[in-house]
Structure 1
Amino acid sequence: MTDESIPVLFRGSRLKRRGGLWGECLAEFLGTFVLISFGDGVVAMAVAALPGSGRTQGPTTFFLGTGDWLLITWGWAFAVVFGVYIAGGVSGAHLNPAITLAFAIRRKFAWVKVLPYMASQLIGAFAGAALVLLVYISAINAFDTASKGAKVNGHTLASFSIFATFPAPYFNGNMWWPLIDQIVGTMFLVLIVVAVIDLRNTAVQSNLGPLIIGFAVAAIGISFGANAGYAINPARDLGPRLLAWIAGWGNLAVPGDGTWFSAYMWVPILGPLIGGIIGVLVYDLFIGDVLHARQLRALADGGGHAAERQEPVDARPPGPDTPERASR
């Protein structure tokens, strides 16, 4: 369909403003909204809706096997794919403050856009979680009512897991191991993202990049997810966490207190930001610089020593000035 065949909703100055940073922020908001709507939605299905609708052994029965975990990991993978396809052509679909920060440091993403992007991602995540709560409030309330054990304002830790993350009991409240888990998971995420979009490498063709990044999120969830819920995205955790706090989950959400953990909310914020930086640096050290050196060698072989004065090659694909692809 051509541009001429699609009528615009706004005209004049209002339309013109959408062609710049404002339009990119709208895309980040919508992409993250879709990401969280499907991502938190699949957790709501597994935890509350399937048990409450009589599709499991009981109204509070879930996670009896690895198949239940696969439902969640692939649900989040699809969420990433659709979010990136929706926003990618406008903003590059970062959908993740860790991606935005890493690209500002190593991929020439404008620093002036970092905070607006992050704010848009956070608001989009909050709105997506609010939609999930609206759709599944009856299932969540039924699940919490039927559940035994400790509750906060009538809500359980299990229903809180629909929205945000917490560490596994075997860490015994130690925050350092979950922090390392978040750093490692996000490192792999960003490492794969920058590899997928690097046209000097074996770049993904036919606009399949979002699908491959969705596979990456599934792989991280399958391989590292149980330790701390694989947030690997500060907005993905903080936005829904704030929604859960407002909606009545109390200190389970903010500051993140549970039976075996306390003040946990900083871990899925700081860990991914650190991991994203490490991921892009690792890629550039082991792969990016090698590809660049080979390009310089090829230029030198074909054009003499003057090639050594070439500017560094920009690995970003053509398009808007934020063409990177994003993640969970």
Structure 2
Amino acid sequence: MSSDFSFGSAYMKGRYMPVSEAAIPVLDAAYRRSDVTYDVVGVRDGAFFRLDDHINRFRASLTRLRMTPVETDDDIRVILNRIVALSGLRNAYVSMECLRGAPPPGKTRHPSNCESYLCCIAIPWVSVASDEMFRRGMHLIIPKVRRIPPDSFDPTVKNFLWGDFTQSLFEAEDAGADYAVLLDAEGNVTEGAGFNVMCIVDGTVVSPAHGALEGVTRASVFELCEELGIPTEIRDISADELRNADEIFTCTTAGGIMPASRIDGRILTNDAPGPISSQLRERFWSRRAEGWHATPVDYSVVAGSN
């Protein structure tokens, strides 16, 4: 009988399987220590967006954490294509992850004694923002919890150390907001739970200089701004500057460009997505529809497979 990949597919340690069958042993450091790095690439209308950029960032994270899965970057490209093809999904959330395992018998739990291995999944598209949030604009707060300092863990390495983000999500919920934008120890803007934050001040798109992931969608925003003649800056942004910005938007693979309409209760742009943020969002998806940075999925690789 054929396996059911309709809910998504996975690859782990050389095997392809329905995503429901993928599992992590409870003794692995990935589970016990959150010793994982990952990257997420989106598929829309049957094509990856900026696939090589995501794989390159993933490889940089692997190097930074001294993880050495057996698969090469070319292997990863093949695996990601195959899991999407197995699922048949035209719009997918595709994650490449490297997990640290358990030490062999007789060895200590030092990470150098643990193998690192690849796990990849393709599931139906997941968005950070709901349809309502896109329509009305996201409602944001600046929470009490601060971002984990870069001296403790490099924020340019994607990771599962989400204690600060998780607390911020509950703070946002308690305040009746959608998401939170975390500050660093000096009171400057960093990022939110799974997204970069940018603001518009006097017609200039401004992005934080420190404390955040170097987002692939963020890089796309800079390219779009250049196309449209919108000036950009990368510098520190204080909490007060963010609260008083002309516009605010967030951006991520899982949602694209997501304008905000409120921050700490302050209403921006008549309580709706701002004009420049909306222009960038529309341009982002129109360029995607044109095949910008696209790598088509080869669905034929699973033709005739069981």
- Give your verdict on TM over 0.5: no
- Give the number of the structure with larger relative contact order, counting CA–CA contacts within 8 Å between residues 6 or more apart: 1
* Larger helix fraction of residues: 1
* Larger strand fraction of residues: 2
TM-score, length basis structure 2: 0.29
TM-score, length basis structure 1: 0.27
Larger Rg: 1
